[in-house]
Structures are given as C-alpha cells and as structure tokens.
Amino acid sequence: MNANSKNKFIDFYGRNFLITPDVLIPRPETEQLIDTVLSLAGKPFLPGIKAEKPKLKSDFSLLDVGTGSGCIAITIKEELKNAKVTASDISEKALRVATKNAEKFNANINFIHSNLLENINQSFDVIVANLPYVDKTWDWLDLDSLSQEPSLALFADDHGLALIKELINQLEFKKPKYLILEADPCQHQAIIDYAKNHGFCHQNTRGFILSFIPH
C-alpha cells in the first residue's frame, strides 16, 4: 500500500483508524453496533450505565462480514480482549487496510478473503455485518458526497437488500447465537420480515442496528 495523500485517520469509537480510498469511511451510526455487542457481553458502554448480565461467555467467537477498514472487528477485540475475532471481506485491498489497522492496535484478528460466507468454514457465536445497503435510486441520496468511497462498499441491488438477504440465506444451516446487522431504518421492516422467514427472530433495534436470534 503506497502512502497516498488521500489516506487519512478517522476516529471510530475513540480510536483512530487508517482510511484509504479502498475502504468505507466509518460512520457514527455503526458505533451502535459496538454498543450492541458490548451489551451482549455484559460490558457497560456508557459512563454510569449498569452492566447487564452477560449473554455470551468471555471467549465468544465473532465474525465481522465486510470488515472494510476493520473498525468493527478491531474495536470489539480491543474492548473485549478474550473474544475470538474473525473478519472477512470480498475486497483484498480492504483487507490490506484492515490488516494495517490491526497491526497498529496489535489486535489478534483472523482475516479471511471471502465473498460473504463462501470461504468461511467454522460457526460463530456472533455474526455482525455492515454490508453495502445503499439503494442508488433513493431520491435523498447525494451521490457526490459518496464519490470518494468504493462502490463495492456502498451499493447493493434489490432496494439495497441483496447482500443482507444473501447473508441470511447462507446462515440457514450455520446460525449464530446472535446476528447483528446495520441497515437504513427505512429497510428495517423488510429485513425483519425476511429474517423471520429464514429462521431468525428480531430481538432488538438500536438506531441503524438490528439484532436477531435464531428461532
């Protein structure tokens, strides 16, 4: 990876991540995905908040599908040191950025190059995914503001739901204990309905973040 004037450092959950033109710029709404995982692990994520009873053992396994810069996977590993964290992406360039970020934090993450779950053989306690969900036809979309980020990280067919639905399909025979997905709130009901028909029951919504458990 060449040093490039377009490379920058962006804050995510209080840590600075290297961001290049090959990866999505982490968004504040994704930080609530971290809150959701911390809450399942019984770790208070706001000052003064009472710890919930952990729903996961401390060495739970987690897969971050579509890791991009690695901001989700690395933050979870930093916050929950005993978690066994794997992160995947279809983009080899993104995985190189994520690997750099993991090295920066000395975070032990297993990176896998994979189209969704194609090259993933093991099962996980938790699967998280902030997959591309932007629908190019949304009339409120400002395409210019997204022009610095890879299309591969942003857009999906089928009203933005194609990859999320495909991930849910692929999980049918290896369901995690918790599936946590980011999507625009306008897509939430469609995802909840789809997941319900494919073995997952909606448990919780936090901002852009949906949590499911198998039923």
Ligand X SMILES: C[S@@+](CC[C@H](N)C(=O)[O-])C[C@H]1O[C@@H](n2cnc3c(N)ncnc32)[C@H](O)[C@@H]1O
Task: Using the minimum distance from each CB to ligand X, give the nearer residue, 72 or 191.
Answer: 72
Task: Using the minimum distance from each CB to ligand X, give the nearer residue, 65 or 195.
Answer: 65
Q: Cβ distance 72 to 33 under 8 Å?
A: yes
Task: Using the minimum distance from each CB to ligand X, give the nearer residue, 80 or 163.
Answer: 163
The distance of closest approach from Cβ of residue 76 to ligand X in the complex, given in angstroms and rounded to an integer, is 11
Q: How far apart are CA 77 and CA 101, in angstroms?
A: 12
Per-residue 3-state assignment (H helix, E strand, C coil) for 125-162: CEEEECCCCECCCCCCCCHHHHCCCCHHHCECCCCCCH
Show the tokens assigned to 131: 């997959």
Task: Using the minimum distance from each CB to ligand X, give the nearer residue, 15 or 42.
Answer: 15
The distance of closest approach from Cβ of residue 215 to ligand X in the complex, given in angstroms and rounded to an integer, is 25
The distance of closest approach from Cβ of residue 50 to ligand X in the complex, given in angstroms and rounded to an integer, is 28
Chain contacts with ligand X (rule: CB under 6 A): 23-24, 26, 30, 65-69, 71-72, 89-91, 94, 115-116, 130-132, 152-153, 163
Q: How far apart are CA 77 and CA 63, in angstroms?
A: 11
The distance of closest approach from Cβ of residue 47 to ligand X in the complex, given in angstroms and rounded to an integer, is 24
